[in-house]
Every structure is written in structure tokens, then in C-alpha cells.
Structure 1
Amino acid sequence: MKIKKLSIHGFKSFVDKVTLNFPAGTSGIIGPNGCGKSNIVDSIRWVLGEQNARHLRGKHMEDIIFTGSDGRKPLGMAEVVLTFSNEHGLAPASFANFSEIEISRRLYRSGESEYYINKVQSRLRDIVDLFTDTGIGTRAYSIIEQGQVGWLISAKPEERRTVFEEAAGINKFKHKKETALRRLESTRDNLTRVSDIISEVKRQLNSLNRQAKKAERYKVLRDELKSLELLLSSLEYTRMKQELSTLAKRIEAVKDEEISLSTMATAKEELSEELKVEYLGVEGEYKAVRERIFELERRIQDEERKSALANMRIDELKRTEERLLAEIDELTKTREAASAGLEGLVSSLSALGSEIEASSALLSENSAALDAISRDLRGKEEAQSGLKADSLKISTRFSDIRHSIQNCLREEDDSRGCEARARTELENISAALASKEEPIQALQERITGAQEQKEALDAELGFVRERLASLDAERGAKNDELLVARKEYARASAMLATLEEMERNFESIKGGAKAIMQRSEKAGVYGLIADCMETNPGYEKAVEAVLADKLQYVLVESSKEGIEAIEYLKAKGAGRGSFVPVNDARPVASPVLADSGAFQGSRPLSSEIKIKEGYEPIVSCLLGDVFLADNIEAAFTAWKDSGGFRTFVTPDGETIDAQGVITGGSALSDSGILQRRGEIKKVRSEASRLEGSIASMEGGLKTVEETIQSTKAHLDSLREKLHRAEIEKVNLSSELKRGEDDLERLRRNRETFTAECAQAAARLAGIADKKAALSVEREGLEKALAEKEEAIALLSNEISALAGRKDELSNIVTEVRVKLASSRERLEALKREIAEKERSVEETGRKIETRGADIEKGRAEIAEKESGLAELKDALNGLLSGIDGIRKEETQKAETLESINSQIKAAEHELKELKGRYSELQELKGDLTIETKEMELAISNLNDRLTEKYSTSVEEYAPAEGEAAPQIEALEEQRTDLREKITSLGDVSLSALEEYNELETRHQFLLDQQADLTKSVESLHTAIQRINRTTREKFRSTFDEINAKFQETFPRFFNGGRAELRLTEEGDILEAGVEIAAQPPGKRLQNITLLSGGEKALTATALIFAIFLIKPSPFCILDEVDAPLDDANIDRFNLFVKDMSKISQFLLITHNKKTMEMADTLYGITMQEPGVSKVLSLRL
């Protein structure tokens, strides 16, 4: 059954009728977005019977009818015709002989819908049955949309199962099972009803046998039950009163415990506040200790800096000492050289003269330069010392500022933390307030509504009670009327039976006529003269008076039958009889009157008689000359007027015959044939009327009973509603009180945290100002310190250069002086050579001594510095020792703070537990209050119930104080026994026992019906089991086959990997869902929902083709299924479609060029005119 042709007219955007012919193979439908491609799929889905407008992308089914455009008017009808080819006769048996099958559907804007199969109007059910288990349908796998691919992946396992059921072909079995289940349910309902009716009929049968003695017994038992129920109610009243007292005591105990807990909570709150105050004091001490620690750390840093400077000076002095020692060594060598070169100086006396002059000049120059450098060097060293002292002061202040800023940052963090916590609490409180204010308002409104509802229920309860009393009175009146009517009906029925029995036995028929009529063989006998006429009511006496014994004449077919009847009477000795041959009868000859009205208002007697057809001649013979007058006087007048040739009769049976004989008076019996038949007719009419009245009365009584029952049910419902309304009001009031308490607590907390936020903000502002000032000062100090350090470094370089130059000049001056002294000595005389040499040696010695003094001076300064370092070390050790003690004190303070904080937490924890217990007590008190209200309401309801039922109060029957209460269990058993006895009596009524036989016959008929229904239930059970067995087998077989094919198609789409299908519940395959597990190449086996979008699409496509390989549908419509696939997967997809097109017809809606190239036929959908789709075709 492949699609041959599709015609669309007025469906969505296809306003003009279009026809698409689909050959075998693959057809593609292409076009831009929004042109109406998917409307083709929707039209096919619609004509196949889709009933959900949302599945057709609409809201209402009328949305599919073309709604009009700028240039087109709306249409009033949509029609789709789908033609299938059936060349191979694969359609269902009823359509197997058709080469084509055409289904069509029309929808009018009025909402009317029509379905046709081969142009014959059909039902939707017929179309659905036509495609059941073929893979074709609105939910079958023959129509696959892009969204349906996603649905196949994301659907629940139980929803995914439907695709496999369609492939397994078990839908028809499911439909059969549903039908069987409906029939089973219906049969069970019928069986239940029949069983109920049987029980009722059986109860009536039993009731009819013992109805005579029930009434008195019922009255006695009813009175006993009333007394017993009053006693039990009084005991129940006493018990509830005691429970009410117990609840009151419990409430008082809860209130006492609330007061105790409140006192304990107040004490805990005071303790917590005291601990918090103590915590704040210790916290202040802790901060003071922390400040002392910071001060000591600063002093330690100062001492460490001083020690560093002293060490630097010592190093400098030691370097100077090394330099002076080197100079001493050099001078010593010079002195030794001078002593050794004395002889050479004497010989070179003349040369030394000029050398002395030159050396003197050089000595003066170098000495002046040396003095200037020494002065400059001393000035720079003094400036460097000053800069270092300034730098030390700046560093000290910079350290102080850094510590102050750190303190500010810590204080700022603490303040921000406090502010953040406070703001968080404020937000929580605001949110809590906002969340509670609206519910509280709602609670107030609900309480008002509950009060109004209670008042309305109270009013309605009073009205219903009055209504129930009125209905009870009406029921009593109707029962009395019904009893009277039943008595009258029974009397009429008995009279009717008697009269009919007399009629059947031919009572009042005399002699031979009776014998003939009672004879079993009545061939040729038609009945009596009385049988061929029917007299109008009131004229029976008149006819009987005229005809008299003639009414008992026997009507026979002919004179032959009359003679035979006479012979029979003779033979049997059964008396005499008169016989009227019907075929030989003729009208009586009598004078014809011109105007019967001349008889003074009389009229023919036959005018008050209805004559059976065919018997007119006989009646004419008998009554042709008989006239009817109103009374005897009128009759006599009319007789005289007639000339004495007519018989006249009155309704009372008074007659004047043609001879003028007047007959009248009172008869000994009124039971003539016609009168009895009139009486039968009258009594039958009366009985029928009474039967109708009884039925009407019974219906009215039943209606009243039903109204009473519904009113009682309504009364009970109102009482229950009133009870619930009162309970709800109490609950709402308790809940409102708790909500208002919470609201007040939240408002107090909001004020507290608002103050905390303000304090934290003020602290933060002060800290910010202080931090800003310190930051400015720190920047200035940083800049000054850098400048100082730069100047110190510059001076250090200059001092180093000057010291080197000074050393060089000092060496030059020394050498020149030595040479000059040596020359002068040689110049004075050789005599003074030794003296000069000694003087030179002395000069050198003095220099050495000077250098030695400088060394000693430096060493003394080193000793002084080292002594100062020792003092600094001692001071530093003292500071370190002091800070250790203070740190211990800090630790102690911290431990104290931790201890106090633990105590605060413990106190708050205990306070929280106390509050929790207090809340529990409040809830318990609320519950007890509710129980009290419920108990009071129960007492009130008990009193109301007794007042309503017995018109008495329960207090009147309450046992006296001190009186021993009877055993309730025994009384309950006694009441149960009485109720059972009363129930066992059944309905105490005055119904007649003659109904018993009819009920017995009906009972047997119902038993036969019950047996038939039981057999039907068993048969349906067997059929359902057979259907379930077949369904399981077919589903399991198809599932296994699809699973095997899926394991083949999946690797072909993914170039590897594996996949499988699983049932969620192996125990019951009829309810099991289907899960998909997939393992693309390089990944682990996982649930399909964990795959990527493309992998999901490929997996779903592989599953669809696996189903097609097992149960190919005649055609398959794929609506943009290839959209999520890339080029490589498109090639594999197209290859599969190409292979599958050999066995199934494919309609592809696509935007992919490769898919278009693969199609055998292309249909292009365009929208040249806005809102109107057009079709273009191309055969490839």
C-alpha cells in the first residue's frame, strides 16, 4: 500500500487544489523555510485520522482551514484525499480486491467532519482499523519528523515502546484486549447489578414469608434500641466530658511549663548579655596588649637598625686601620731606604741641590692639595653621618606608619565583617518580614472567610433541618396515601378477578347456550349475541331490557351449525338454546319513517351501541325498531307519536313495546351480561387508574425518600463542613498568633541590626580618614627616604674617591719630604750625615707614631662601638624577653576570649533549645486547644443528633454522679444485636403475599442470567490471557529481531562502535519500556541521553532503519531528519535510504543538496503569493 497520489484543497496554505503524484522510489520535497513543505506532512497525518491539533502545529482543529491572506478570502472547508496503490492486494481483507484505496477527510469551519473510504462515507474508527499494524498511522514510524527523532531519543522508555508495538503488529491485539477489558468491566458491572438484584429479590422473598409478625416485633425492638442508644449516647457524653476536663488540665500544665521555660529563657538571655559585656571588656584588654606588642616590635626594629649602623662603623674603622698599618709599613721601608742610601746622597750632593728645589716646590703644592682634600673629606663624612641619622629617623617613622595602616586595615576588615553580617541579617529579616506579612494578611482574610463560611453553614444547616422535617412530614402523608391506594387497588383487583372468572365460566348464561359455549369443540360457533356489541356506559339496562334472553342467543355460521347444536343439546340433555345463523340473517322489515326526530326527542337505541364488523344485519334485526327516550313519560309520548309501531326504552330499562305493554320497576338482580361486562370494563379502568396512581405515588415516595437521603447526606456534609470550618478557624487563629509573634520579633531584630550597621559605617568612615592621612604621610616618607638614601650613596662615592686621592697625596708628600730632608742633610755636610739621617729616621718614626696614634684612636672607637653594640644587644634581649611575656599575656587574653565565647555559644544554644521547647509547647497547646474545640463540637453534634433524632437532650440521660456506669462493651453488643435483629426483619410493610410467585419466577430468571454472566466473565478472562500470551510472544520476537538489526545498522552509521536495546522490566514484558544504549567508536557504552546532538540523531536514524528492515512500512515520510547530519553522515544516510527505497516508498523533506541529488522526483514548494503555497515538480 504505497502512496500514489495526494490531493490537498483548503488545508493550511494550500488554498487552491493541488495534486502530487508519488511514483515508487524516492521523492523529495524542497523549498525555502516557511513555504509550506511541512504542511504536506501535516495533511497526510490529518487524513490518516490525527485528532490533536497541536500535533498539526495548531491550537484548534479549525486552524488547519485556510484563514485568508492579503489577496485571498478565508475558505469554509479543508479537504485532503490520499490514494494508495494496492496492486499486490496487501490491504485488509475487506479491501484486498481493490487496486486502489482512496481515503479522504473534510472539515468545515462549523466543526463538522467527514471521512470517506473509496468515496463511501465512513467512521474514523474504520480508517484507523484500515491501517492498524501496517506501520502506517498518525503515531506510527511511517512518518518521522525532525522533532520525532529527538522524541525517540528523549522519550521515556515506556513511551518509546509504542514504536516497537507498531512494528510488532500487536496494536490490534491491544485494541482487542481493551475491548475485552471494557466488556469484562461491563459484564462485571452487570453481574454485580444482577447479584444485587438477586439479593434484593431474595430478601423480598424471605420478607414476604414472615411479614405478618414483623410490625409488632419491629416496634418493640425499635423502642429498645432507642433506650439503648440514648444510654450509650449519655455514656459517650460523659466520656467526652471527662476527656474535655483532662484536656483542660493538660492545657494548664502546658501553660505552667511555658511560664517556667520563659523564666529560664530570660535568665539565659541575661547570662548571655553579661558574657557579651565581659567579652567586650576582655577584648579591649586584648587589643591593648596587641598595641604594646606592636610598640615593642617597633623598638626592637630600632635597636636592630642601630646595631647595624654600629657594625657598619666598626667595619669602616677596621678598614682605616688596615690602611694606616700599610702606611706604617711603607714608612718603615722608607726609613730603611733612607738609611741605606745615605752614602749615595753624599756623592750626589750637587745633583741634589736642584732636586731639593724641585722637591720643595712639589712638596708645597702637594701639601696644599692634601690639606684641601682632607677638609673636603671631613665635611662630606659629617654630611653623610647627618644624612644617615635623618634616614634612620624616617625609617623609624615609616615603620610606625606601616603598623598603623595594618591596624587600620584589620579594624576596617572587622568593621566590614560586622557591617556585612548585620546587612545580611537585615536582608534576611526584610525577606522574612516580606514573606510573613503577606501570609499574615492572607491568614486574616482566611479567618474572616472561615467565619463567614461558618455563619453561612450555620444558616444553611438550619434551613436544611427545616427542609428535612418538612420532607419527613411529606413522606408520612405520601405513605398514608399509598396505603389507601393499595387497599383500593387490592379491592378493585379482587372484584375484577371475580367478574372475569364469572365471564370465563359463563355465569348467568342459561341452559343450552352455556353448554354450547363451554363445549371444547366450537367449530362454526361465533359466540353470543352479547359478544357482537359493546354498549356505551349507562345504557346496558336499556339493551338488556329490550333483548332480554336474546342476548344469550348463540351466533353460528349457518343453520346447519344451529341444527347440529340443537342435536348436541338433545343428546346431552343440556337444556334448550336459540341459535342465530349469521350467513342467513337479514334486516327486519319495518315502516320507514320520514323523520325519526318526530318521536319527541327519542333516538335509535343502536346509536348507543358499537357493533362489531359483520354483525350489523343481526343487530338491525333485533334493534331496528327500538328507540331510546330519557324517561318513561318521554317514552310514552314518543310511542303515541310513532303510531304504536315502535318499541321505546329508557336508560333504566323501562320499556313500552309495539303493543303498548309497559314494563318497569326493580329487578331482583343487576347482573345481566352487558351490565357485568360494563362493570368489568369500569373496574378494569379503575384498577388501571389505581395502578398508575400507585406507581406515581411510589415514584413520588421514592423521590421524597431520595430527597430525604440526599438531604440527610447534605446535612451530614454541612455538619462535617461546619466542623472543618471551626477547626480551620482555630488552626488559622493559632497560626496567625504565631505569625504575629514572629513578625514582632523580626522587627525588633531589624532595629538592632540597623543600629549595628550605622555604628559599623561610622567606624569605617573614621578608619578611612585615618588610613588616607597615614597613606599620604607614608608616601612623603617614602619619597624623603629615597632622596636621603640617594644622597648617602652619592656622598659615599665621593668620600671613597677623596679618601683615595688623599692617600695618594699623603704618599707623595711623604716621599718628597723624605727626599728633601735627605738632600739637605747631604748638602750641609758629611758631618752632619748621621745627624741628618737620625733626624730623617726620627721624622719617619714620628710619622709612624702618628699613624700608630691614628690606629689607636680607631681601635678605641671600635672598642667604644663594640661596647655600644653589647649594650644594644642587652637592650634588644630585654625587649625580646619583654615581648615574650606580653605575647604570653596576649595568648592568655585570647584563651579567655575563646572561653567566654564558648560560654556565650553554650548559653545561646541552651536558649535556642529552650525557645524550641517553648515553640513545641505552643504547638502542643494549639493542638490541645484544637482537640478541646473538636471535643466541644463533638459534644454539641451528639446533642444535636439526639435532639434531631429523638427530640431529647443527652444531659437528661447522663448517669448521676457516683452512679456505677454500665459496661459499654455489653451495651454495644446489645445494640449491635438489636440492630441486627431489626435489620433481619427487613422492610416491614403490608405488601400482599400474592407477589411471591412472581418474585420466585423472576428470581429464577435472574439466577440464570447470573450463571450466563459468570460464564461470560470466565470466557473473557480466557480471551485476555490468550491475547496477553500472543502479545508477549510477538513483542519479544520483534524486539529481539530489531535489536539484532540495530546492532548491525549502528556500526554502519558510525563506522564502528556498538549499540543495543534493553527492556526496563524483564519481569512483565507487557509493561516494559525500551532503553537505548550506544557506544560510538572510542567511547564507553552509555545511555543515549549522554551522547552529542549529532550522535543522537545518527543513533535514532539507525534505530528507525533497523525497524524498517524488520517490519518495513509501505511508505516512509522523513521531514528534515537529515538536518543535524554532517556531509559524511549524509552520505551514509542517503545510502541507507537508497537501499531501503527498493522495498519502501520514501518521501523526503530536505534542504540538503546531496539528498536532493539522490531523489528520483523533486517537488518544489514556493510561496509566490504571500500565504499561498504552490507546487512545482521535476522528474530526475
Structure 2
Amino acid sequence: MYLKALEIQGFKSFPDKTVLNFGEDITAIVGPNGSGKSNISDAIRWVMGEQSSKSLRGVKMEDVIFGGTETRNQMGFAQVTLVLDNTEHIFPSMEETEVAVTRRYYRSGESEYYINKQSVRLRDVNELFMDTGMGREGYSIIGQGRIDEILSQKSGDRREIFEEAAGISRFRYRKEETERKLERTEENLMRINDKIAELELQVEPLRAQAETAKQYLIYRDELRLLEISVWLENLETLKTNAIKLDTDLSLAREELKKANADLEALYAASEQFSARIHENDIAQEEKRAQLSELDAQVKEQESAVAVLQTGIAHNEENIARVEEELRSQSDRVGSMDAQIAQQRARIEELERSKNEVETALSELLKQAEELSKNAGEAASEAETLRAREALALSAAADSRAEVAALRSTLSEMDERESAIAAEQESGEAQLSETRKSAAENRKALESAQEEADAIRNIIAGHTMKMQGRIEREKETGEQHVSLTMEMNNLDSRIRLLGEMEKEYEGFNKAVRTVMQASERKALRGVRGPVANLMKVGKKYAVAIEIALGAGLQNIVVEREEDAKSAIQLLKQRDGGRATFLPLSSIRGEALRDARVQNEYGYVGLASELVEYDREYDGIFKNLLGRTVVVEDLDCGITISRRFSNAFRIVTLDGQVLNRGGSMTGGSISRSAGILSRAGELRELTARRGSLAEKLDLAAKAAEDAKRELAKARYELEVAQGQQRAAEDAVLKLQGDKNHYDLLLSSLRERLESLDTERETIARRRGEVKRVAEEKEALVLSQEKEAGELRAQAEKSLSGQSELLRSTSRLGDEIAEKKSVLAGYAAERETTEKSLASLEGLRAQMQGDEQSRRALIEQYRAASEQSQREIGTHETEIAALSGKMTEKRAELEALSKAKLALEAERSQSDRRGRELNENVLNVERSVSKLEQKRATSAMEEQQILDKLWENYELSHSAAQEQRIELESVAKASRRIGELKRAISGLGAVNVGAIEEFERVNTRYTYLTTQRDDVEKAKGELVGVIDSITSEMTVIFKEQFALIRESFQETFLELFGGGKATLELEDENDVLSCGIEIKVQPPGKALKTITLLSGGEKAFVAIALYFAILKVHPTPFCVMDEIEAALDEPNVVRVANYMRRITSKTQFIVITHRRGTMEAADVLYGVTMQERGVSKVLTINMNDMAKELNIKE
């Protein structure tokens, strides 16, 4: 046997399918580090069942799948197939000559194992290789990890290799399997003993309870027959009395029906009166609204007229005021024109006087010049002195003239100040009057603006109100549309459900056949299916449907004969089968045990949770009277146990606890939605009535919203008209304000100009006065100088006195003329300035006059327009007043008609009270009879309820169990005795009879089973002892052989020395550690842990070869185990492998040359593509032959 081939796909660095074929000799696998050589040995280890990802040099098992590269996607699975030659049948269980073991692993974590393409378990793979040396723990794959185990300081780590080599792995596996069975057997025995102990506590008490229960059943059966018979006797008596009550009640009801009809007719007439009065009220309200609207319009027109008249009066006042201002201004302009003319005449006069003085001065200057020539002959000093004297006198004359002019200016300033004071007084008075008028105007303007603002606020309120009305109108309109659509959808759904009800959709064929025949009058007495005769709320719908089950389609008929006819019809028409419930025979009794109502989770009796006509009371109590509805299953179980499963229980979600203890539950499958459909139809019909009311209210709300919107629009338009009038008033007053502002500004500017002029005069007066005083002082100085010069000249020229006198006189005249000219010039300057000021004020006043006249025209035009509008409004008022008169007359007529209607209704109400009293009397009579009949019916029903509640018997079924009684009294006494006897038994557990049988049977079974398990336990202990003994013998024998082989192999490989294997504990050969002691040539005997690294590896290889020699494995994979050896030792290992290839096939992963040279075939592993391993093959024998040929 040998390894024929290895197929790898998707495993680690081999994404592509790679097949390695092996011969029976030595195969070497070489390649650079990282190329994937060791992945081949990992693949062999993995396919043989290795489960440790760490042993496969990974973190998790998923790491064995090709993870992808930059150019290749990752793969979804890894698969390795190992093909072995089995011609020698080393695998006894396999008849085939070739065995292929396959392992496939997916990224999802799923693993698959195959032997010869047949799916197997991992356990099957392990068992296949067990004791062959090729298993997971075998020695067919030797890598650095295996070398480390041999070299480990823990001698116990080496045992697995020796056990596999000794061939006891299979025995150890059987022993471990038997020990696990023994452990499970002991656990089972413990559980059985616990159960037996528990049952022993129950058997005897249950035996006593069962005996009591049997006595109870005897009493109960006798009590049942007696109670049924007594109740039926009482029931017949009640029915006889009920016949007379029914006759009396029928007559009373007829009388009540007639009285009610009379009262209804009277009520209808009274409602007609009320409707007419209501219509009259509506008409009166409309007339009042119209009158109110007309009155508002009249007031609005009158208000407009009042506003216009006020505007006209105000305009006339303004015209009078402005005309008065014009007259006052005209007077001031006339006075001002006179002043201007006077100033201009004065300027012309000054010009003429100046020209005359200038002409006279020119003549005097010529004379002075002539005198100067005549004086030339005088002495030089005298001339000079005279000339200087003349000049001094001339200068003094000039100064005197200037002083005169300045004094004249001061006089004119005084006159101007007086004129300014008078003008300021007049201006202040006019300013005060104007301010008063402006203040009145401002007050009126503020009032008008406040009114306009108030109206704007009103408009804002109306706008918001109208916006709200628009939103309301939109909202109510949308709501009306929405409700209309909802009503349409509801009507469609009701029609659909109605048609389904009419066609009895969801009911079985038999029900449809019977109901359709009943509608065609082919059958009589058919009331309908149970589902159509009751109402149930949503909360209880599931519980009731489950409780009724197929009973929903039971058909209620009046008598047994009606049911018989319907059954005959179904037979004739092949219409199927149906269950019929005759009203005349079906009776039922509701559960009357009040204790159940106090239980937690109790909802109610099923028959009380549905609504139905009292006529069907027997039907529904028969179907549901002894069914209790509870909240949930836990509550139901508790209640069922407490009442000994005496009645049926249904939970709200449809789970059922039946009488006797059985339970039914799971998902809910309703009976074609029959009950739900009927409930939905009733609910939708009720909703339609409510929706119709909402729709009427929505329509009324929409109409009211439209009416309110129209009213809001009208109010807004009225307010907007008032706003326009207010804004016109504001505009007019604003124009008056502008006028007053302009006039006040003009007056203030004039007064400020006068103040400025007055201040200027005051400043100039001081200056002029100072200059005049300076000039006067200069005149005195100049005259003094002239006198001194004259004295000097007279002294020098005493003979020329006449000449001096003439010169003196001439000088005086020249000085006088210059002084006059200076005065003229100063006065003219002052006069021209005053003239310019007067002319500017005159032009300003002319502009004010034009503005005032334009304002007068504006006021007059506004008054004329207002007068025309007043005429229009008065016409409208007259028309509105006429309409109001008509409406008042109509309202008066409506009031009279209402009084007449109310009188008629009052008379009808009195008659109604009389008829109502009569109806009440008749109703009291009917009520008494109904009460008596109800009491009788209730007593009958109580008897029927007791029959059903206590024994689940209908009236007809009870009749079958009725017995003859000597007397009701005697039977009643016996019933009392039986009840006391039952009471004396105490709490009775009827289920104890069945429970005792069950528990006793279980106890007997478990006791037998315990004996069997104890026997099996003894057998397993014996098997374990036998396996242990056999394993000990085999291991000792094989260990001795391996030790001997190791001594020989060590001597052969090392070329000398000694080696031995020792058990650490001879008394525990199956568990103790194994010690390896060696003595290399030339060294002392020592344990393997004291050797060098190379020596340790060489010793481990020698041990493996020793094991292979004793128990050869078909193939052996060595993964770089010689890496730590020097070259001579590598050659020794290779030569030794060559010698034993006849018994073992070697596949060696190596880097060493000596190993490669010993190989017959070389597989080269490379990574031409990054991350992807490729395999190349070289047959060394063929290569050698080829080289020899070439040589």
C-alpha cells in the first residue's frame, strides 16, 4: 500500500486544481521559503481529519481556504483528496483496491467528508486510519511539530506516538467510548431513582383518594336521576300556569299598541306645529337680520353725510381765516411800499446834494492852489508853515465831516431800532395767532389720524376675521367633501357586506340551500343560522367563534317538524348536511356556580357575552351556557384545575380547555369570517347613522361658514369706506398743517432777521460812537497843530496877514465841504441797506399771498365736492328708509302668525298629556303581566339551566333519563340525604382514580427499568476491565520491540553509542510518561533534554525510523525534519530512507542537497504569480539517464 496521488483545490496557496502523483519510492518537494511547500503536508494532515487550525499554522479553520490576491478573488471552499493503494487490504473494511479520501470545507463553516465519493462522518475517517500509523495522532506525517513533541521535557507528550505505533489506539478509542456509555448509564440510573422516589410519595395517597372517588360516583349518579326527575315535574307545572299568563298578556299588549298609536299620531301633529313655529322663527330672524343690515346702511350713509358737512364747515372757516390773513398782509405791504419809496427818494436827494458839494469843493481846491502859488514868493519857512497849517486844517475839516456823518448815522440807527421794535411787536402778535391756529390744526390732525388708525385696526381685525372665515369655509367645505367620500365608501362596504349576507357567502352549501329555500317560502319556521341571530363585541369575537366552532352554521328552526322538512329538502337536492336547533325542544342552562366569577382572569359566561333576542335564550345557553371565557391560558388552567375540569373554558385568543382536562389550541382559523362579517355589518350600519349626523352638521357648518364669510366681507367693505373718509380728512388737515408750518417758518425767519439787524445796529452803534469820539479827539489835535503852525507862520511873515486870513478861510470852507460829503456817503450806505431789507421782505410777502389764494381755491373745491356727495347719500338714505318700513310690516305679520301657531300647539299638548296618562296606565298593567310571565319563564329557564349546567342535558335529553317518582317530596328528602353524604366525603378528586392507575403503572415500569440499567452498568464495567488488560499486554510487548529497534537504529545512524527507552512507572504502563536516554559515541549516558539541538533532532529521527521498522506505515511525509542536521548526518538519513523504501513510501519536504540526491522524483514548488503556488515535476532517474546519454 502506498500514497498514489494528492489532489488540492482552493487549499491555502493552491487556488487551482493541482494533482501530485507519487511512486513507491522517495519523492522530494523543494522550493524557496514561502513558496507553499509545507502547504502540501498541511493538506495531507487536513484531509486525514486534523481539527486544530493551530496545527495547520492558522488562526481559524477558514484560513485554509484560498484568501485571494490582488489579481484573484478569494475562493468559497477548500478541497483535498488523498488517493491510497489498497491492494494489500490494509484497510480491512474496504474491499476496493484504491481508496480516495476527500475533505471539503466552505466559508460558511460547513465540512464534508467522502470515502470513495460516498459521504461519511469525520468519525468514519478517523476509524479508517486508526492503528495504521496514518491517523491524526499517528507518525505518517512528521514535521517540526512532531520533532518538538519527541524533544518535549514532558515525557507524557510522547505517548500518543508510541500508542499509535503499538496498535492500541483502537482499543483506547473503544475504552473511552465504553466509559462514556458507563457515565451516561450512571446518569440514567440516578434520574430513574429520583423519579421512583418521587412516585413512591404519590402512590399510597392516590390509592385512598381513588377509593373515596368511587363512592362519590355512586352517590352522584343516584342524585343525578332524582334531581332531573324532580326538576322536570316542576317544569311541567310552570308551563301549565304560563299558558293563562300568555293569553292575558296578549290582550293587554293589543290595548297598549292602540293607545301608543293614538299618542304617536298626536305627537306627529304636535311636531308639525313645532316645525311651522321653527320655520316662523327662522323667517323672523331673517327679517330682523335684514332690518339690522338696512339700519346699518342708513347709519353708515348718515355718518358719511355728517362727515362731509363737518368738512364743509371746516373749509369755510379756513377760507375766512386765510382771507383775513390776506387783508392783514395787504396792509403791511402798503406800509412797506411807502417806506421803500421814501428810502429811494432819500437816496436820490443825497446823490444830488453830494454832486453839488463835490462841485463847490472842486472850486475851493482850485482857489487854494492859486493861493499856494501866490504865497510862493513868501519866505520859504512861512510858506511851508502855511502849507502845513492848511493841510492840518484840511485834515481837521475832514475829521469833523466824518464826525458829523457818524453822528448822523447814530441818529438813523436810533430811528431804525424804533422801527424794528414796532415791526417785531407786530410780528410776535401774528406769530402767536398763527401758533394758536396751528395748534388747533395739529390737534384736529392727531384726532383724525387716531380715528384713521382705529379704523385701520378695525380693518385689520375684519381682515383677520375674514381670513379666519375663509379658512373656516375651506375647512368645513373640505370636511363636508371628506365625510361625503367616507359615506360613499361606507355605503359601498355596507352594500357589499349586505350582498354577502344575502347570498350567505361563507356558509356551507347546506346552509345556503336551506336559507334560500326559506326565502322563497319553500320552507317554513326557519329563523336562520346561529351566526345571524346574535351580536358580539370585537373583544370576545375570537373566543365566541372558537366556542361555537361549526355551531355558527347551525340553523335555528321553530319546531322539530320544520327541521325534518329542511332535512328532507337537503336529501332531495343533494344539498349537503346541516345541524338544526328547534326552538320547541332545545333548552339550556347556564353555569350557576358563583365561585367561578371570583377567579382571577374570569371574563364571563360565553352566553352572557353575546347579545340575542330572549326568544333564543335556550339555544344560546345550550350552545354557550356552560362555557367560561377567561383572559389567557394560564388563568384557564388554574380555573380548570380548581373546578376539576367541570366545564369548558375558552381564552380570549381562542385556546380551549375541554371538560375532562383535554386542551385544544394553536393558530386560529375562523369560520370563514361569518361572525366577524355580521359584526362588521352591524358596526358599519351604526357608524353610518353617526356619520349621517356628522354629514348633516358638516353641511350646516359649511353653509354657516359661507354666510359668515359674506358678512365678514361686507363688514370689511364698510370699514374700508370709513378708512377712505378718514384718510381724506387727514390729507386735508395735513395740507392746513403744511400751510401753518410755512407761515410760522416765514414769521420766525422775519423775526430772526429783525433780531439780527437789531443786534447788528447795536454792535455798529458802539463802533460808530467810538470812531466818532476818536475823530473828535483828532479834530482837536489837528486844530491845535494848525494853530501852532499859524502862530509860527505869523511870526515868520507878519507882513502877510491878509494872505494868511484868506488861506485860513479857504481851508475852513474846504474842510466843511469834505465833512458834508462824508456825511452824505455814510447816510446813503445805511439807506441802501435798509431798502434792500424792505424789498426782500416785500417779495416774501407777495409769495405768501399767492400760496394763500391757492389754498382758498382748494378749500372751495373740496366743499363743492362734499356738497355733491351729501346729495347722493341723502338719496340713498331715503331709499333705505322705505325698505325698512316694508320689512317692519313683514316682521309684524310673522309675529302674529307665530302667536296663532303657539296657541294651537298648546291645545295639542294638553290632549297629548291626557293620552300619555292613559298609555302609562296600560303599560303598568302590561308590565305586571310581563313580570309574572318573566318570573315564570325565569323559573322554567332556571330549571333548564340547572339541567344544562349540572348535567349538560337539554329538555328532550333529560326526558330520556327521567324516572318515576312516588312523590316529589320523598324524592326531595332523598336528594338532601345524598348531598349530605357527598358533603361528608369532603373534597373529592374524581381524577384520582385515573391518576392512581397512571402513577401506579409508571412506578412499576420505572422499577423494572432500574433493574435493567443496573445490570447493564455491571456489564460495561467488565468490558472496560477486559479492554484495559488487553491494552496493557499489547503495549508492553510492542514497547519492548520499539525499544530494541531504537537501540539498533541509533547505533546504525550515529555509528556507535547506546540508546534506550524507559517507562516512568512500570505499574501504570497505559498512563505513565516515556523517558528517552541516549549515549552518543564518546559521550556519557544522558537524557535527551541534555543534548545539543542537532543531536536532539537526530535522536528523534532515529526514534521515528525505529518505529517505522517495527510498524511500517504505508507512507511517511517528512517536513524539513533534517533542517537542524549537518550535511554528513543528512546523507545518513537519506541513505537510511533509501534502505527502507521497500516497506514505506517517503515524501520529503526539504532544502537539503543530500536528501534531494536520494530522491527519485523532485516536485518543485514556486510562486510565479504572487500568492499562488505552482508545482513542477522532475524524475531524477530519467534525468540521470538523459545525462549519461549526453556524456
TM-score normalised by the chain length of structure 1 = 0.37
